[in-house]
Amino acid sequence: MKIAVVAPFYNEEKHLDKFIKDVRKTKLPFFLVDDGSTDNSINVVKKHKIKTLTHKINLGKGAAMKTGAEAAFSQGFDAVVFIDTDGQHKFSDLPKFVKALKNFEIVFGSRNMEYGVPLVRYLGNKFASLLISLLFGIYVSDLLCGYRALTKKAYEKVKWESSGYAVETEMVIRSVKAGLKHCEVPVATVYLDNIKGVSLMDAFGILFQVVKWKINL
């Protein structure tokens, strides 16, 4: 199975250099998607002489993930692993996804308290997981973890519409609707930047979307 890493980024000049060095060590092909960065990120990438898929304007994480996935699948890859470029996810967990993809169509990364997830985020995450479990009958312990993988077949079935942070939740809901074989793998997490990620406003937006998906999907 040909697997590629897809890494969307937005204003990540601080972490991108280390990320590129680390991702190269994995020997896996990778696709970087610049989601309209306004900082020096693109120059950091150029320094490494890597071709990047560039969004001229910032569309959001979901849209960038979609671009990366479509690029990878159009190049003949059978599966992709999504990873955040801010150094939050460890490459040492990558083999878990590669291994799980042999038996499952979609693999969700799962962070836990032992790995340093802040309490508020942990509780918010648990609430979201329970809500989705009640509404859609699927329990994914870490609904919002961006570290996940899926096959090309699964992508065709779960092709999401969310352009922002609701993408992870939509992916979970669509995967259960499509009856995909899924599993979770535990992943380590390092919180380097408290400002980034899903804010309270994003969370309310996602909640509104969940209601919409319950009606529509």
Partner 1 sequence: MIAGLQISAIIFAFVMVYFALIHYKKGTLNGFEIFSWSVIWFAAIFIVVFPDIIRVFAKTFLFTRLFDMMVAAGFILVIALTAKSYITTKKLEKKLEDLVRKNAMSVLKKSKKK
Kindly list the residues in this chain that would bind partner 1 in the complex (CB under 8 A).
Answer: 33, 51-57, 59, 63, 66-67, 70-71, 74-75, 163
CB of 84 to partner 1, least distance (A): 19
Backbone angles phi, psi at 175, to 5 degrees: -70, -35
Amino acid at 45: V
Which C-beta is closer to partner 1: that of 70 or that of 93?
Answer: 70
Which C-beta is closer to partner 1: that of 67 or that of 169?
Answer: 67
Asked whether the CA dihedral 118, 120, 125, 130 is positive or negative, the reply is: positive
CB of 46 to partner 1, least distance (A): 13
Report the candidate in 66, 4, 75, 64 with the shortest Cα–Cα distance to residue 34.
Answer: 64
CB of 40 to partner 1, least distance (A): 19
Q: What are the strands of the beta sheet with 52-55, ordered from one edge?
A: 52-55, 30-35, 3-9, 79-82, 148-151, 106-110, 182-186
Which C-beta is closer to partner 1: that of 72 or that of 144?
Answer: 72
CB of 170 to partner 1, least distance (A): 15
Structure tokens at 23: 């991702």
Asked whether the CA dihedral 108, 114, 120, 126 is positive or negative, the reply is: positive
Which C-beta is closer to partner 1: that of 38 or that of 92?
Answer: 38
Whole-angstrom distance, CA of residue 193 vs CA of residue 215: 35
Cβ neighbours around 25 below 10 Å, total: 9
Beta bridge partners of 85: none
Which C-beta is closer to partner 1: that of 35 or that of 184?
Answer: 35
Beta bridge partners of 55: 35
CB of 116 to partner 1, least distance (A): 34
CB of 74 to partner 1, least distance (A): 7
- DSSP secondary structure letter of residue 143: T
Which C-beta is closer to partner 1: that of 87 or that of 164?
Answer: 164
